[in-house]
Homo-oligomer: A and B are copies of this chain.
């Protein structure tokens, strides 16, 4: 018996093959960050560029275009039709880019990211700049190609790859609103917190103890260690594949909160990946919906849960076990530590109140860079001005804690930053929906019961993969599309 949907089935075979090659790419990329010794980089970059080119060829094979057309006429289930929609979306993005450009981009970003690892601690902006300029050049060319195909502006075309449907206009509207109340909120919160008494933990905190703590917390957050690991890299990230999730963190002996919160963040990403619909893995419909949705998971873990008094109660005995008894580890004090608001240099260390400021300044700069309104040389001045305006911080000459702090630009991930703050807004929206559905949620969290949160996220977000568009998913999950009012309400309720 021949299958009823031969064209569609042939497409799924192709995508399964792509998934398998991408597996090797993701693992080599993770290894490059987590394990690779420095002299291995040239060969690795060449190998990754070769793989990027192969994947690009597979994803842009003209036969695939014909198959997408033909499969549309077959009798498909809703799930299959959603898969076909996602296949088409990827096809459109991929066919916009010639192979030589994809290869050049892979090489430029590998080189820039690798050099950045030593240039950043050395505060070496001058050494970093030529590599970044090359990354920016291929990024602009990429953006232009995508813009030509989609009719979007170059920056919107990049953003569309991470957050389908999101536009500069929409981001500006949402961020504009946040800008109107954020500086005032930061002021009120910091004034209020200045009157609170908070005990600081005493270090040093042994790296091995921190590692053990992070793994215990990942277990608490129900990360599946039979299908994933925690390792160390210069810039923490969630990598690997859904079947084998590789989270990374970094440790400092004088501060365990950074790695602890970072690990909670990455665990949110990791659980989303681990719980994507397994029976569809390898197909576009099984992939995470979007990057803002992904960040909504990491921030649900790091911020929504991490800042909850019930979670502080769970963490408290774990800290005592890891580092010995300290008054600072008492639940109430720990909760105050985990919800401290303080303008600072580093985005990944920022609290959830000042975080949007970091994102807004990056959005403004990278949009202007991509649209050709400014050049890479202009970044420090723009950075310094925005940091002073938004957070009152002087960053002049401090490149390593300024525009060199993030891996995104070295890796060519322009258009990604807005997803962090959109994700924070979605996370607030999810918890508002949970509280409507489960009025006793905070009581249960206070009693140390986290499963209601995980079950809700699993059912509404993780298990849905890319079955729906972002707007549809948000509507199904919470009864409305993105509504930043929940974020404001969350911050005011938690911090004022």
Contact = CB atoms under 8 A, between A and B. Distances in A.
Contacts of A54: 21, 54
**Total copies of this chain within the assembly:** 2
A244 B20 contact: no
Interface stretch (A23-31, A286-294, A441-449): A23-31
B39 A51 contact: no
Interface string A25-48: 101100100011111101110111
Contacts of A92: none
A241 B24 contact: no
A17 B50 contact: yes
A465 to B, nearest CB: 16
Interface stretch (A81-89, A121-129, A184-192, A224-232): A224-232
Nearest to A36: B244
- Which residue, A27, A54, A226, A244, has most C-beta atoms of chain B within 10 A? A244
A45 to B, nearest CB: 10
Contacts of A51: 20-21, 24
B37 A24 contact: no
Interface in A222-275: 224-229, 241, 243-244
Contact of A229 (B37, B50, B229, B241): B37
Interface string A279-299: 001000000000000000000
Nearest to A30: B31
A170 to B, nearest CB: 36
B243 A39 contact: yes
Contact of A226 (B17, B24, B38): B38
- Which residue, A20, A226, A229, has most C-beta atoms of chain B within 10 A? A20
A204 B410 CA distance: 46
A241 B43 contact: yes
- Which residue, A23, A51, A225, A226, has most C-beta atoms of chain B within 10 A? A23
Contacts of A35: 229
A227 B37 contact: yes
A24 B47 contact: yes
A244 B21 contact: no
Contacts of A31: 27, 31
A38 to B, nearest CB: 5
A416 to B, nearest CB: 25
A104 to B, nearest CB: 16
Contacts of A227: 37, 39-40
A23 B36 CA distance: 13
Interface string A2-26: 0000000000000001001101110
A38 B54 CA distance: 28
A226 B39 contact: yes
A283 to B, nearest CB: 14
Contacts of A47: 20-21, 23-24
A229 B40 CA distance: 11
A44 B28 contact: no
A224 B48 CA distance: 23
A225 B42 CA distance: 15
A371 to B, nearest CB: 35
A20 B46 contact: yes
Nearest to A21: B50
A23 B28 CA distance: 9
Contacts of A244: 36-37, 39-40, 43-44
A214 to B, nearest CB: 16
B20 A225 contact: no
Nearest to A51: B24
Contacts of A24: 24-25, 28, 47-48, 51
A54 B31 CA distance: 22
Contacts of A39: 224, 226-227, 243-244
Contacts of A46: 20, 23
A54 B53 CA distance: 14
Report the 8 A-B pairs with minimum CB-CB distance, sorted nearest first. A40-B244, A43-B243, A39-B227, A23-B47, A20-B50, A20-B47, A39-B226, A24-B24
7 contacts: A17-B50, A20-B50, A24-B28, A36-B244, A39-B227, A39-B244, A44-B244
Interface of A: 17, 20-21, 23-25, 27-28, 31, 35-40, 42-44, 46-51, 54, 224-229, 241, 243-244, 281
Given A20-B50, A23-B46, 10 more contacts: A20-B43, A20-B49, A21-B51, A23-B47, A24-B48, A37-B226, A37-B227, A39-B226, A39-B227, A39-B243
